[in-house]
Amino acid sequence: MGATRYDPAVPNRLEWNMRRFLCGLTAAGLFIAQQAQAQQQCATPAEQSTFEIQALKSELMVLATSCHADTQYNAFVNRYQPTLAENEKAFDDYFKHRYGKQGQREHDAYITSLANAQSDGGMRLGSDFCARNEAIFNEVMALPGPADLPDYVAGKDIVPASLGACAPAPAPAPITKARATRKVSHKH
């Protein structure tokens, strides 16, 4: 009887176990990513549109600030003021409904994250940022009217993927020692 020879084409038990483990880990990671993405999906097309219009407004503000396009931004705001005001109210209502007393804080955090993500994208483009993106002002101003704004933003990929539309649900508040030991008074 001869010695068993190592054949690299035939995986050993350890290799099989590692492959199974890695496949399972990959599947779990994909599942978690899908769950996170599902939590960030908007419940209605109106909510999606609200976030897209807010992202457009933020993108144009970043362009105005970075590219000295204040005149174009002001023209956009003046033309779409009623639509933008209505959208801002829907955006505020979304955060109030979703986060309650923390709504304003979550709203502000989202707006800050949105502007930062859009600004970071601009920095990655470098000197091409203004030239490539100022055309968006011309596109928006060429729309027939404010009613066309939701369809316009729906056709753009304007909400940063890292942020998503419709902010994820808040994490449950941690149980603090004060909350855990709080005494309940009973009236008899």
pLDDT by residue (tens digit) across 24-78?
544 444 443 333 333 457 889 999 999 999 999 999 999 999 899 999 999 999 9
Dihedral of CA 60/80/109/97: which sign? Answer: negative
Dihedral of CA 63/64/68/71: which sign? Answer: positive
**Structure tokens that stand for 96 in this block:** 């109030």
pTM over cut 0.85: no
- Whose tokens are 């930062």? That residue is 116
**Do 67 and 175 form a contact (C-beta atoms < 8 A)?**
no
